Structure 1
Amino acid sequence: MDRLGLRVSAMISSPQAQFGRKVLIHRLDTDCDQDWEKIMELLLETDGLEVAYCDDAAVALQWDIPTDDDLVIEREVDLDVVRQTEVEPPF
């Protein structure tokens, strides 16, 4: 499972896939049925990811560039703590 996950992750993270926002993942003969199904399940649950099964046991993944509306960052900052931890630069 770990090797399959690393292989799929590397394919998705490749510069070519990131530039085109798509990748074609081929299932290898050495990929266990259970591991393949688990990876596919994880991919199907991923928001913003389109998964299309191909005839040759490959899977095409495609995604859009996230917009500002997609990025939700919730963080509380205590300004008193920030002010107390600021350090003067040494120059």
Structure 2
Amino acid sequence: MAENKAKPAVRVEMSGIERLGLRVSSMINHPVAQTQRWVTIHRLDTDGDREWEEVMGLLSETDGIDMTFNHDESVTLKWEASADEDRVIEVDSTEEVEEVAPF
């Protein structure tokens, strides 16, 4: 009888810049941030100088984002609604509207 030998799972560690980029992206894309069109990103003790500067540099090069560097080393990002977000979509109230699942 053949034995099933499972290969051990290989865990790939994320780099500091990947981890910070993912955190910042999640904060920007959060529904509350998207509604209010601003978010404050706090620098964590685990965020290295090089990683922080790299991500802040990328954000500063992004069109449509205003950055405010706060005294507590946090950064507040603000942006305007895109043209697509400004459109008003009218829905005929007699039509049944399917609710989108939150996941």
| Structure 2 segments unaligned to the other structure (5+ residues) | 1-16, 85-103
Identity, % of aligned positions: 53
The size of the alignment, in residue pairs, is 68
Does 2:33 align with 1:41? no
Structure 2 counterpart of 1:58, which letter?
S
Structure 2 counterpart of 1:2, which letter?
E
Residue 62 of structure 1: aligned partner: 78
Alignment partners' CA distance in 2, 1:19 and 1:51: 18
Alignment partners' CA distance in 1, 2:23 and 2:45: 14
The correspondence of residues 49-88 of structure 1 with structure 2, limited to 5 A, is: 49-67=65-83
RMSD, aligned CA: 0.9
TM-score normalised to structure 1 length:
0.73
Shift of 1:66: 1.3
Does 2:18 align with 1:2? yes
| Structure 1 segments unaligned to the other structure (5+ residues) | 69-91
Secondary structure of 1:52's counterpart equals strand
Secondary structure of 2:33's counterpart equals helix
Runs (4 or more) in structure 1 with deviation over 2 Å come to none
Shift of 1:67: 2.2
TM-score normalised to structure 2 length:
0.64
